Amino acid sequence: MIRGIACYHPKNKVDNEYFIEHFKKKGENIEGLLQTTGRKSRYISDDENETILTMGYQAAKEVLEKVYVKPSQIGLLIFSSGTPEYMLPPNSVKLHAMLGVGQKCCVYDLNANCAGMIVALDQASRAMQNNQNIKYALIVGSDQLNKYSRYDEALAYSNFGDSACAMVLENVFHTDRGVLDSEYYTNSSNHDKMVFPAKGLSSVMRDRSLSTQDKLVQWTPFDYGGAFHSAKISIEEILFRNNLNKKDIKKYFLSQFAWKSIVGVCEELGEDIEKFTFIGDEFGYTGTTSPMLACAKSMEDGELQSGDYVIFWTVGAGTTCACSLYRY
């Protein structure tokens, strides 16, 4: 079960006005887009030495201190990012060294893009259920999507914020708390709509004449409504399998990609919008950490009590979606 969560974001806060003026100079009005996504601000690093690793380290250090768990007690460390700083060694190994984690630890990176931390929570929970030797797991997510966005693509450039999130899981036996079930949905027909690097990593290394544009995120507009519609289907399926009703769910922690999309899922479910935590107005869209920032906010505000059922759901590029039923 989740022992604790901590989050980190850069100090540099960027309000909508910057992006409105940026695109106004290009003859584009993005105010309607910002209303749809629900953005008001986002945190974007202006320190060239700040990376997903340094951000992840700050979040991990804070959560370990918060829950009084020593790095040497971690038996599983998963690092989730869609914008990894290193391909070799894994970023998780770098973080292992930075934190001083012990040698008896399974360590790996996970890249499911924005679905990463929910997938990692599911994998870690199932691994711990079948391995009593893992007492604590550390899951760290960190993304800097704005850094790799094209300045002329409004949806990407104005939407993304930087953040890191870390959670410690504790292996508690004979309990009905923690991850109870998971459901996945993948429709790969959009595999070419959001691509990073735009021309592939091999081209970045091989082609010295490659433009900067082709090294960044390529965002081709597409209809992502089907992904959010799948949220309703996955949520209802997972509730049916576990003999639960929507009234049993205390909170929903969904992808913070767009406020309008969250409202759409809420309406399709016939739910109360107050059960859906939205933090995308302050943090922007933060990739893999997105639903976990929402969870951390609810925990911080004391909205969750022991025994509460919550739903995690998010979507990653491609398109792939992950949904988990969790008992707090």
- Domain harbouring 188, CATH code: 3.40.47.10
Q: Identify the pLDDT of residue 10.
A: 97
Residues 149 and 296 in one domain: no
Please indicate, yes or no, whether residues 64 and 139 belong to a single structural domain of this protein. yes
Does 29 share its domain with 147?
Answer: yes
225 sits in which H/E element: helix 225-241
Q: What residue numbers bound the domain in which 55 lies?
A: 2-170
Could you tell me the end-to-end alpha-carbon distance of the chain, in angstroms, rounded to an integer?
A: 7
Co-location of 140 and 221 in the same domain: no
Retrieve residue 163's tokens. Answer: 């953040």
Task: Name which of 166, 185, 184, 180 is nearest 310 in CA terms.
Answer: 180
- In this prediction, residue 208 carries a pLDDT of 86
Do 185 and 160 fall within a single domain? no
Per-residue pLDDT at 309: 98
Question: Do 116 and 205 lie in a common domain?
Answer: no
Last residue of some domain: 170, 199, 225? 170
Tell whether 19 and 69 lie within a shared domain: yes
Q: Identify which of 224, 111, 96 has the alpha carbon closest to the alpha carbon of residue 159.
A: 224
In the numeric block, which tokens belong to residue 87? 């391909």
Cα–Cα distance measured from residue 319 to residue 189, given in angstroms and rounded to the nearest whole number = 7
Last residue of a domain, one of 151, 170, 189: 170
- Distance of alpha carbon 249 from alpha carbon 194, whole angstroms: 33
Q: Assess whether 301 and 215 both reside in one domain.
A: yes
* CA count, 13 A, side-chain hemisphere, 96: 20
* Together in a domain, 29 and 143: yes
Inter-residue contact 7 to 289 (CB < 8 Å): yes
Looking at residue 133, its amino acid is N
pLDDT given at position 225: 77
Kindly give the confidence (pLDDT) of every residue in the chain, 328 residues in length, as a single tens digit, with 9 standing for 90 and above.
999 999 999 999 999 999 999 999 999 999 999 999 999 999 999 999 999 999 999 999 999 999 999 999 999 999 999 999 999 999 999 999 999 999 999 999 999 999 999 999 999 999 999 999 999 999 999 999 999 999 999 999 999 999 999 999 999 988 889 999 999 999 999 999 999 999 999 999 898 899 999 999 998 888 877 899 999 999 999 999 999 999 999 999 999 999 999 999 999 999 999 999 999 999 999 999 999 999 999 999 999 999 999 999 999 999 999 999 999 9
Q: For residue 174, what pLDDT is reported?
A: 83
CA 81/CA 322 separation, integer angstroms? 15
